[in-house]
Structure 1
Amino acid sequence: MAKKNALPFDSRRGSITNSRYLLESEAYIGLTAQAKTLMTLMQLHWRNDKPVDYGIREAQAKIPCCNKTASKCFYELERNGFIRCIEQSIFSTRIKSKSRTWQLLWMPYKGNPPENDWDTINANKNAIIKKAAKHREKLASN
């Protein structure tokens, strides 16, 4: 029996979806194009049971951009609550090097629902901006 509401996604390699709420949010819209691309590239590696291994060199090659821009993208996503560093990178010529591991905060992790820190951070920023605007209006009227 066929599924009643099955969508005709391309099933060759799977599909990646994001919530409309995330994509229409000010937090997401305010990201640079490179950071948005990095989010999608990291989501390609996402699994519910483990963090995402993704480094600056890989981002630099796939976005494509310089290493400074790739580093800024990771910082931008972390600062805005989209990712969290789980484990730092290890670079060694004697032992195997390892890239940083990340938790994608808009995706479930280890059976828990998404933390969506990006939404909380954005709400706090908006509250601060509104408070500052009211303060400026008050000063202007005096």
Structure 2
Amino acid sequence: MTKRKNKLKLDFDQRGGVIVISRALLDSYAYKSLPPEAKVLMVLLQIHWRNDQAVAYGVREAASQIGCAVNTASKSFKVLNERGFIACENESLFNSKTGSKAREWRLTWMPFEHRKPTHDWENWNEKNKPTVSN
């Protein structure tokens, strides 16, 4: 008689999806030194991620979802872009007659158009930080 092993069933996707972020990314200085709003924005962007298209996500929508000022959300996009976590694929468009279009972002830690992630954030360190001039 053979013994049946009790297999632990891990049903991660029972409620509509799973967000997975690599341990290397979470342990990086580029990530650890991010403002909290930028970390939340990364998760929000990943929720909308698809392999075959860039993520269209605007500053106002981000501010609403994060619960912060529009200016803070704008700074979060800027810092994620500067550190290489996201890259702008298409610029925004404002047209009062035909409607507006949000910027479209590529998440560098995720595959895009069936290509491997570029992990641009791995090249960032504090020395790459832009200097603030007054």
TM-score, normalised with respect to structure 1: 0.81
Match of 1:101 among 72, 82, 104: 104
RMSD of aligned Cα (Å): 1.6
Following superposition, the deviation at residue 11 of structure 1 comes to 1.7
Q: Distance in 1 between matches of 2:59 and 2:92?
A: 10
Superposed displacement of residue 5, structure 1: 7.8
User: Once the two structures are aligned, what percentage of the paired residues are identical?
Assistant: 48
Indicate the structure (1 or 2) with the bigger Cα radius of gyration: 1
Question: Structure 2 CA distance, aligned partners of 1:45 and 1:5?
Answer: 30
Q: Matches of 1:50 and 1:63 in 2, distance apart?
A: 23
CA distance in structure 2 between the aligned counterparts of 1:10 and 1:92, rounded to whole angstroms: 39
Paired with 1:69 and 1:24, the residues of 2 have a C-alpha distance of 24
Which residue of 1 is the match for residue 38 of structure 2? 35
| Runs of 4+ in structure 1 over 3 Å off | none
In the alignment, the residues of structure 2 paired with residue 19 and residue 6 of structure 1 have an alpha-carbon distance, to the nearest angstrom, of 22
Instruction: Give, in angstroms, the shift of residue 120 of structure 1.
Output: 1.4
Q: What runs of 5+ residues in structure 1 fail to find an aligned partner?
A: 129-142
Residue identity matched to 1:59: A
Which has a greater percent of helix? 1
Structure having greater relative contact order (Cα 8 Å, sep ≥ 6): 2
TM-score (normalizing by structure 2): 0.85
Output aligned runs, 1:103-118, within 5 Å: 103-118=106-121
Gaps of 5+ in 2: 1-6, 129-134
